[in-house]
Structure 1
């Protein structure tokens, strides 16, 4: 298979790195992966060995300077900005990755830095980027980001940036803030290094609690109060997740999630659960966070259905009716028939009791598709 120009470049770069590593191992007197015959040949042919060493060194320095020039040209055209290895732009990403590796080589003084490092630093200084190969100090880098965060908050009435914002700057700051809070809580991923300095700066800038995890109890009770106010204004009805009204839908989704959290006793329920239940009882909704009993709910609805049918001369409710009560009953009846036919969506849980009640109320075939005979 013929190599493309790019694959050739990658191949020779890998080969050069291999030879460089072998040369360093040989110079340090370490066992080489070369076969013994090669070692013996080198030892007996000093001229060839000298050629190999000098030629490799020359290639490494020239190659490093060539890559550096490519880097500097890119930085020139991007207002001196250093490329990032996390960029979506393939050119910037490739340059950023190489720059990151070179910084690491300089820091650890390995992978040929002893050979070409001085030439590379000289070139960087000449081109106006004397610090480009320095590894960033995590403390300085974090404090620089924090200052950017505080400036943003200053200009937005002390608002915390949201990681869900559509504004890219706010979203980026919000995501990083969320990560920093997690780092402080778990005391890892660099927090032991920069944490104290970060908190000191936050206090100085009048945001002493910005890196604290949100008060789960306060947030839960605040949301619950919003929920209960909504229910008060809707005759005690609980919001549903499928509502067309965005406010009801949002409350319904959160309520559904809270019921699941209570059931599993996780995601903070041990922290705020008791206070949430106490508030719910106080506001007259003691069972609002309980998971619905499917059987009880189905039987309660069925009684409502049979009462309606009895009052309408045994007529089945139509899901196309303009009357909202009949329409709701008709839609639910249609769904129940499908559940029975497919034996899904809870039918295995409440089906037998529903059929028993239907027979008891004089409608034994009501859940057959089309209301056909039993």
Structure 2
């Protein structure tokens, strides 16, 4: 006897998929793919490398989105056939397989449903993430490195390419700061809910008296701008310094002044870049990140002005958005969504999808409430 009422659940799966298809606008997506495919076959496409990369990347992302939707429709059809055959033949093993496939489809639909909530102007972009050690001394620097590993492992689990763009090592252990890029469809929209202050509570491995220590790290997530974005920075607003790249403990890893530190004088925003091999490449990478940060700053200022005009002065994000407690008990808890996990080790190993999904749903609800 099946533990799942497939006669009710399969129509529900189809209904959910139908809602997703409506929000995704499959017809518009197919038209977009046809347009991009036409551009991609232009024999002069690679005369402009930046535009060619934009076109091929956009085409790949759009095809992936369409495939996710169409494949789920096919899987639901196959599930229905599997259930009918197992019932006709009274095959308990086949029925168990159907139940497993049902759970898998349900999970995929939930993930796709969350994706439909990412409708921000820059949600489709790649993400640039900066982690900075906060209060807590060497424990905070170690915590920053733990968070870096957590996000890199999360990206690895999903097959998303990452690139560490700049690293500033702490003297004793860990990181003062690190900036890295995640390349994936909707990377910014997905990871933007991770922005904020993260808190770690544990017995400090750096305290010879074994005392409990609370430390903090700040996570900043910005969208990576594209060449088509209109963000011009006058040369007289930028100060550019060059220096040698360095490794842990200040050890020099480059014998030339290839690393670049770029400062936007009006705002004081500083971007460092040392991943690329040449000064020219590092300067170009630093400028893209600087433009991205200024773009975010502009949007934040516009949003703040709208809130002020509307009389809404309530902050939507608190100073501490998530706590990772390793002692006296084991728990990771998001302070906005109330979602929590009792296994911090798995979280630090990159299993943060449930936190991210809860954050996206929470943000959507906050948006609805604000517009009500």
Q: TM-score range by the shorter chain?
A: under 0.3
TM-score by length of 1: 0.22
Larger Rg computed on CA atoms: 1
TM-score by length of 2: 0.22
**Structure with the largest fraction of helix:** 1
**Structure with the largest fraction of strand:** 2
